[in-house]
Amino acid sequence: MNKLTPREIVQELNRYIIGQEDAKKAVAVALRNRYRRAQLPPEMQEEVTPKNILMVGPTGVGKTEIARRLAKLVDAPFVKVEATKFTEVGYVGRDVETIVRDLIEVSIRLTKETHQARVHAKACETAEVRIADLILQPANTRKATNPIDLLLGTKPRTPDVSSEERDELARKRGEVIARLRAGELEHQIVEVEVEETTPHNDIPGTDVNMNDVLGGILPKKTKLRKVEVREARRILINEEEQNLIDMDAVYSEAIEKAEQDGIVFIDEIDKVAGKASGHGPDVSREGVQRDILPIVEGCTVQTKYGPVKTDHILFIAAGAFHVSKVSDLIPELQGRFPVRVELKPLTVEDYKRILIQPENALIRQYQALLAVDKVELEFDDSALQIIAEQAYAANEKMENIGARRLHTVLEEMLGDIAYNAGGGDCPEVKVHVDAEYVKKQMGIKDQQRDLKRYIL
């Protein structure tokens, strides 16, 4: 995926996002430049920095979705933050450095999943053997763990057994494993020893967890759970994967991945634009910009996993800029977003395409949801046209919330069907949705009254 050309990246984005070609091209080039940079000599790689992107456009036209799909496309660490959540240093609120710390947490999760996938087959084999032993030797017949062994972290001594007993145990274990693989024992109850979950106690003012600090000193508490074999398999596979992967390697790789491939989406950047009034909730708007500047410009942020450099993280900022202008941002921050793209408002035709064309199209979602209750929905072109026109008209006459208006219109139109569907003995029902049905459900005769019903 990292070797996709810009045209191929745009083609992938077209599967989920309608229109906004300029924005797609901008992010596609930014992504391809990462691959190009990786092919350069090491001394030149350090000099080539990402060309951060500023998206300007009304809400609901696809700004966030473009960035999110881009990150999924290359399996890159991605975080979305809202500029309004942060406050200037010295005021009560979130510190901008938490952006990088959140990115690292996402990167660790992605890297850990990759490492677990590599050892999954081995973990499954080991988990099967453990489940077989649990079935052959229930918990009430196993020797209890010595508290001294638990405290010192040593394994209890196992009694000596003869070779005949070992052979017999191996034979029985093989029979049980064969039955496990055949799915014959999925609902049998076994007792599994699991680690007790403890609340996440952060040390105030830091991102350090108290449980992590004391984890190497105090023994982990465990308890016995009675679960079915299928649940025990999931628990034990996860436990074995944890034992097989090297977390130090995961942390090191995750930091590298975040530094080189990380994408940060800063939404509502327009809300912190403009001069501070000197009082009230907007007092720290310009201060927030100045605090964000070093992160975007490139600095080193200390995290509990080690220092993280932000020089090559791709930042994508977005805002509607209805009240403020891009020029209201401080000049230094404007200079750190050299690529600016204007996202266009959606047309009636765009709304119609959004309903049916993307792979996660709304019409497909509703058809799949109601098919669970044996309701087959069928839309004709006239119905889609009316729905698109109503969403467009509602956005024109009231607050423009973009494609999200389609959710409101569809929920209102299909509300009766969704409510009445369901029941164990209900017969299969086929509902043909045409223009007349849509007009009847939405009360289009009284246009003004109709539009007020879709205010969120």
> What is the model's pLDDT at position 255?
95
Contact 370, 83 (CB under 8 A): no
Of the pLDDT bands very low, low, confident and very high (cuts 50, 70, 90), residue 109 is: very high
**Dihedral class, residue 96 (left if φ above 0, else alpha if ψ from -120 to 50, else beta):** alpha
Of the pLDDT bands very low, low, confident and very high (cuts 50, 70, 90), residue 442 is: confident
Q: Is residue 120 helix, strand or coil? A: helix
Contact 73, 9 (CB under 8 A): yes
What SS3 string covers 289-326? HHHHHHHHHCCEEEECCEEEECCCCEEEEEECCCCCCH
**277-291: pLDDT as tens digits:** 445 555 567 888 888
Tokens of 437: 């049905």
pTM of the model: 0.78
Tokens of 27: 């992010």
Amino acid present at 179: R
Given a cut of 60, whether residue 147 has pLDDT beyond it is no
Tokens of 108: 């660790």
> What is the model's pLDDT at position 144?
47
Contact 379, 59 (CB under 8 A): no
Radius of gyration of the chain, Cα coordinates, nearest whole angstrom: 28
Q: Which residues contact 270 (CB under 8 A, 6 or more apart)?
A: 319, 320, 321, 322, 323, 324
Amino acid present at 7: R
Residues 433-442 have a mean pLDDT of: 86
> What is the model's pLDDT at position 452?
53
- What is the rounded CA–CA span in Å between residue 176 and residue 185? 9
- What's the whole-number average pLDDT of the chain? 82
> What is the model's pLDDT at position 454?
53
Of the pLDDT bands very low, low, confident and very high (cuts 50, 70, 90), residue 252 is: very high
**54-99: pLDDT as tens digits:** 999 888 888 888 888 888 888 889 999 988 888 655 555 568 889 9
**319-372: pLDDT as tens digits:** 988 888 888 889 999 999 999 999 888 899 999 999 999 888 999 999 999 988
